[in-house]
Copies of this chain bind each other. A is one copy, B any other.
Amino acid sequence: MVPHLITALTGPINELEARVLDSMPAIERWFRLEWMEHTPPFYTSVDLRNAGFKLAPVDTNLFPGGFNNLTPEMLPLAVQAAMAAIEKICPEAKNLLLVPGAQVHNTFYLSNLQQLVRVFTQAGLNVRLGTLDESIKAPRPVALPDGSELVLEPLLRNRGRLGLKDFDPCTILLNNNLSAGVPRALQHLHEQYLLPPLHAGWSTRRKSNHFQSYEEVAKRFGKLLGIDPWLINPLFGKCGEINFSEGVGMECLTSNVDALLGKVRRKYKEYGIKEKPFVVVKADNGTYGMGIMTVRDTKELEALNRKSRNKMSVIKDGQEVSEVIIQEGVLTNERMNDAVAEPVVYMMDRYVVGGFYRVHAERGVDENLNAPGSSFVPLAFSESTHLPQPGMKPGASAPNRFYMYGVIGRLAMLGASYELEATDPEAEIYD
């Protein structure tokens, strides 16, 4: 069940949508059974691509920003989901410590933090912000666009516990993806709940692990619905020893790109799709839309100039790129006022709480939209539409389209759950 988003439905009619709608109770039950065996990540946002013939997640964020893009109508759902999440984790909790990312100079990000504070306060917690920025030695107010303020406070580590001055939280919620590594303040916290777990951060996480887990989810879901899992699953390969600036490992990249383009070409042929296949090369531990390039032909790799190589070689926080994922490119056929758009679905605990479109007027249908300057268009609840409407002509109903997006978003979240189980360092110890 998904809140309604507003969009122009110009994409081709999607058979998948009809299949998903017909199977709604079975799908919801399937998720319910999965969540009996697997723990949902605390919160998740998933970038989707809808090519018309294929709908797939292309990125799954376990430290989502952008909660400020959700509309006021979506907030009650987020609060209710937060209540359910807290109740399971630490029902007696009074205090929640929120650890923000480093982007606290970005007003959009500050609005995201404000929204998270609002959600968890209304779910019944005292929320305070503890910063990993060691240059902040005393509470520092930061102004918000609406005239109010947030206060960033220095963390206090006391043996096994992390807190603030006069503030001892039961749960610590990270909104920091740890791309710069795991700070000492967060290590070896055994008495408190640290969410998401440290190995969900980009210092440990790999996109290729995620999509390997997602592939398993897509296969199981494909069996449930009787569909080819490729319709919801982006194919991928990976290379582990790349050095773009020195040109090391380019054979691995070339052969992987070539193999993947071939696979996609065969699938396109099978389905009679006339589009030109492409792949997207991404840093395997990348984020913020950095370290990403689109490749339509292996010749482009040979022709990579120094500037492009340098651009690929370093991502956020100066981390060097040495591992890459080569992902099947999924076209987007969604448009907002003629601009290319990709939907982003937000979840808290196992629930879809909202979503919006990421829109960029100047980009092509096969390009990454999470780039500096991409203009976000938050999507409102559709006021007059109803919940998923079985019996509607596929593609003719916004609520049905968004129900489907919520299903695929949740599949990616389930993939992340499998992924975190498979990569849990503590699980290995006790095996």
* Residue positions of A touching B, CB distance < 8 A: 1-3, 24-29, 31-33, 35-36, 72-73, 75-77, 79-81, 83-84, 86-87, 91-94, 118, 121-126, 350-351, 381, 383-388
Nearest B residue to A121, CB-CB: B25
Q: A36-B91, A351-B80, A381-B73 are in contact. Are A1 and B123 (CB under 8 A)?
A: yes
Query: Is the Cβ of B83 less than 8 Å from the Cβ of A25?
Result: no
Chain B residues near A86 (CB-CB < 8 A): 32
Minimum C-beta distance from A312 to chain B (A) = 42
* A32 adjacent to B79 (CB under 8 Å): no
Q: Is there an interface contact between A124 and B80, defined as CB atoms closer than 8 Å?
A: no
Chain B's closest residue to A92 (CB) is B33
Q: Are B24 and A121 in contact (CB under 8 A)?
A: yes
Q: List 19 A-B contacts (CB under 8 A).
A: A1-B76, A1-B122, A3-B76, A25-B94, A25-B124, A27-B124, A28-B122, A28-B124, A29-B92, A32-B92, A32-B124, A36-B92, A72-B385, A73-B383, A75-B387, A80-B351, A83-B350, A83-B351, A383-B383
CA distance A35 to B91 in the complex (A): 9
In the bound complex, residues from chain B placing their C-beta under 8 Å from that of A92 are: 29, 32-33, 36
A77 touches B77 (CB 8 A): yes
CA distance A385 to B27 in the complex (A): 34
B3 near A125 with CB under 8 A, answer: no
Residues of B within 8 A of A91 (CB): 32-33, 35-36
Q: Beyond A2-B76, A72-B384, A72-B385: 18 further Cβ-contacts under 8 Å?
A: A1-B76, A1-B79, A1-B83, A25-B124, A25-B125, A25-B126, A27-B124, A29-B125, A32-B86, A33-B92, A72-B387, A73-B381, A76-B387, A79-B387, A80-B80, A80-B351, A122-B387, A383-B383
By secondary structure, the A interface counts as helix
Q: How far is the CB of A279 from chain B (nearest CB, A)?
A: 36
A124 to chain B, nearest CB (A): 2
- Kindly list chain B residues whose C-beta atoms are within 8 Å of the C-beta of A122: 1, 24, 28, 387-388
Q: Among the interface residues A35, A80, A383, A386, which one has the most CB atoms of the partner chain B within 10 A?
A: A80
A351, chain B: closest CB distance, angstroms: 5
**The one of B1, B29, B87, B123 that contacts A94, using a Cβ cutoff of 8 Å:** B29
Question: How many copies of this chain?
Answer: 2
B79 near A81 (CB under 8 angstroms)? Answer: no
- A342 and B32 alpha carbons, distance in the complex (Å): 38
Specify the chain B residue showing the minimal Cβ separation from A126: B25
CA distance A81 to B349 in the complex (A): 13
Residue of B35, B76, B387 near A87 (CB, 8 A) is B35
A351 to B79, CA, bound (A): 10
The residues of B that contact A84 with a CB separation of less than 8 Å are: 84
Residue of B whose beta carbon sits closest to that of A93 = B29
Instruction: List the B residue with the shortest CB-CB distance to A2.
Output: B76
* Alpha-carbon gap, A350 to B123, bound state (A): 12
A389 to chain B, nearest CB (A): 10
Bound-state Cα–Cα, A124 to B224, Å: 14
- Give every chain B residue within 8 A of A35 (Cβ-Cβ): 87, 91
Q: Which residue of B lies closest to A148 (CB)?
A: B391
Note all chain B residues with C-beta closer than 8 A to A28.
83, 122-125
Q: Which residues of B contact A126 (CB under 8 A)?
A: 25
Among all A-B residue pairs, the 4 with the closest Cβ atoms: A28-B124, A1-B79, A29-B124, A1-B122
Cα A87 to Cα B33 with chains together (Å): 9
Chain B residues with CB below 8 A from A123, complex form:
1, 28
Q: Looking at A1, A121, A383, which has the most chain B CB atoms within 10 Å of its CB?
A: A1
Nearest CB on B from A316, distance (A): 33
Residues from chain B with Cβ under 8 Å of A26 in the complex: 124
Shortest beta-carbon distance, A43 to chain B, in Å?
Answer: 15
Q: Which residues of B contact A33 (CB under 8 A)?
A: 91-92
Q: Which residues of B contact A351 (CB under 8 A)?
A: 80, 83
